[in-house]
Structure 1
């Protein structure tokens, strides 16, 4: 229903308006409904140079250029006010047909030509307020296009990627690398993601949702890429957010479509081979000392601030392998071993993050998985076109993707699986999926907890840190100068 409504609003009604307006200018109405060619005719009707059509063919820039052409186009019909221009751009499905059928709206000439400007100079004259309004609107449109199609700034809110990325790191994320995803919820307040600042209401209207479409990119997502994506679980109650309005998360891609992934004693394996461990990633270790106090300067130098005392001169710490190796060199340190959840132990040693995936719609007839943070899988990451056999072992793994992300009605009746009301013993995936993990392996809520990330949730690739702020530092030391403009690996 949403797709039908979107087609009516964004395609059929504007084209009806173009048909009627073209006829008023003495052109055949059919020219108004031929994509690209209608833009060429509008350029001619407005009096703009023919080479402007080349700009219409450039992805990203073409949107901004077409807005300019549309404004010139409606000026050619006597629509000179700022309100008219806003209505033509924001609500073309209402106002283009309205003006097309309005007997008082007539084509009065090519608005971008000198004779036209001279003839209608009083009507075209802009006040200081109008000049400012035009500038602001242009800036908002340009910034929105840049954020949507090219690059956007993000800030790291949590410790799930430490020490690769720190809380307070400000990143630029490329939309170009994987291809910009076009807005799926087009009616939204500029610069607000899903919630309006201060008032806390929704910053979008989900009455119109467009199908997923992504422009061509420079590359596919590769294992090891640091990726920003929409949090899949925001599809659930109580939020029920549209895909592109779900919370932004950032993790490292560990599994790509078709990969078999497993975690054995905290080591990730992809297709049977050990995957590279992020050099600045963190995990928990148990340290045995001789009972003497750890030097506070050492704690600071090795970033061991989250020391947690245990018994019998032991303590746990979440830190990097480099810090562990440095700590081993001190005489008062007897041993350091990773703190791991044993295989087959359903409840992890880290109860803040209970593993909940798989086990989708688990029933007494389906076995329950006993995976944990450090011993997980093996699991196959779904690939577009891959057909999975559905049974008691596979459904808890892939049921959520089939129902929530691919839009099917799924029911479990005893040991039978019904998809859209029909018994199914297999399913062929429509999208590619990814398995994401945080570099802070024992302090990251990631695909081990909520499953696969669908391709339509992918936002972009993290490129570099342009600013880094430490909220816990003094005023003069808040900026982490050493992290500025660091490339993200």
Structure 2
């Protein structure tokens, strides 16, 4: 069906102007002018209509209209989710138990990106709703080109004791075997130390050595371990590098700010020589010895989780407990 050229109405001009102004304001906010290339397409969608963006609505085949209507809706939803997750808010799950009992493993969080200013993506071409790996396929969910420099949009500042989400720094290098992804450097140091001890010389007690000598040993351990992991891909998988925004997300509490001096004395964090206020329900590890299993009623009263109980059995009686439980 041939489309008729119609003169744009006043309402179309107003809509186009509002959308363009909002879009330009967005570009100013994120300080990125690459997006200016989208403006001609916005103008065409509202005014000139040279590109038939909804060609499938004129298709004679009802199957085509049905399929493309679903494709159109899905693409729109994915694009909307992409921008919302990057610049406004995103949902996360708690990956580790370090924030118990404030937050539990598996809890879902909705995190505001506006609080501290959203970070402009360094790998902008990626599949929405994925961090670094495509479900089922197991391939990368992002393109390594282009990669932009680190840039964060202006926002608020992190305050002391805020709970923040960040990309795990040591997640820059990972082995693609899921069993080892989070512990690559630990693998290298661990295996390297074993190899050094067996093939070079017995490893001394590192804490008894000067700092620079400790560093020298650790560098040797790492190099030996790195070579071992690389040579045993069948066990560890291929080793790959990830950009900052594609590393695993971690959730932690901010216990110190730039410029402050931080010390830990008797499990207490000191900032500038003063003890920092501990969060409610803070936990410390205790070594316990049980004469019998803890009754279920007492487990509930003390707020113990199955992970706590299982961990105690696996770690020789070491269990994280709150002051109330202790």
Q: TM-score by structure 1 length?
A: 0.43
**Cα 1:298–1:60 shift into 2, 3 Å:** farther
Which residues in structure 2 correspond to 1:272-283 (within 5 Å)? 272-283=273-284
Cα distance in 2, alignment partners of residues 131 and 188 from structure 1: 23
**Counterpart check, 1:209 vs 2:210:** no
C-alpha contact (below 8 Å) 1:181/1:213 kept by paired residues: yes
**Cα 1:268–1:80 shift into 2, 3 Å:** same
CA RMSD of aligned residues (A): 3.7
**Counterpart check, 1:80 vs 2:52:** yes
Give the match for residue 323 of structure 1: 325
**Counterpart check, 1:268 vs 2:269:** yes
C-alpha contact (below 8 Å) 1:159/1:167 kept by paired residues: yes
Give the match for residue 196 of structure 1: 134
Cα distance in 2, alignment partners of residues 273 and 226 from structure 1: 21
What are structure 2's unaligned runs of at least 5 residues? 1-9, 175-238
Q: TM-score by structure 2 length?
A: 0.62
**Cα 1:294–1:167 shift into 2, 3 Å:** closer
**Counterpart check, 1:232 vs 2:204:** no
Q: Which residue, 98, 102, 113 being the options, matches 1:164?
A: 102
C-alpha contact (below 8 Å) 2:90/2:110 kept by paired residues: yes
**Cα 1:205–1:152 shift into 2, 3 Å:** same
Give the match for residue 465 of structure 1: none
Give the match for residue 299 of structure 1: 299
Q: SS of 1:319's equivalent?
A: strand
C-alpha contact (below 8 Å) 1:60/1:145 kept by paired residues: no
Deviations 1:204-241 (A, max 9, x none): 11121011111121x20111010100011122353310
Alpha-carbon distance, 1:286 to partner: 3.9
Deviations 1:174-232 (A, max 9, x none): 10000011111011122211011112111111121011111121x20111010100011
C-alpha contact (below 8 Å) 1:55/1:62 kept by paired residues: no
Normalized per residue, which structure has more strand?
A: 1
**Cα 1:253–1:172 shift into 2, 3 Å:** same
**Cα 1:216–1:301 shift into 2, 3 Å:** same
**Counterpart check, 1:186 vs 2:124:** yes
Give the match for residue 148 of structure 1: 86
Q: SS of 2:95's equivalent?
A: coil
Deviations 1:332-378 (A, max 9, x none): xxxxxxxxxxxxxxxxxxxxxxxxxxxxxxxxxxxxxxxxxxxxxxx
Alpha-carbon distance, 1:69 to partner: 6.2
What are structure 1's unaligned runs of at least 5 residues? 1-43, 84-120, 325-489
Cα distance in 2, alignment partners of residues 137 and 292 from structure 1: 58
Deviations 1:297-326 (A, max 9, x none): 2133213454548xxxx96431111222xx
C-alpha contact (below 8 Å) 1:184/1:209 kept by paired residues: yes
Deviations 1:367-392 (A, max 9, x none): xxxxxxxxxxxxxxxxxxxxxxxxxx
Cα distance in 1, alignment partners of residues 69 and 142 from structure 2: 28
**Cα 1:131–1:229 shift into 2, 3 Å:** same
Deviations 1:63-93 (A, max 9, x none): 999968625427837322569xxxxxxxxxx
**Counterpart check, 1:222 vs 2:159:** yes
Alpha-carbon distance, 1:60 to partner: 8.2
Alpha-carbon distance, 1:51 to partner: 4.0
**Cα 1:70–1:276 shift into 2, 3 Å:** same
Q: SS of 1:153's equivalent?
A: strand
C-alpha contact (below 8 Å) 1:152/1:174 kept by paired residues: yes
C-alpha contact (below 8 Å) 2:95/2:105 kept by paired residues: yes
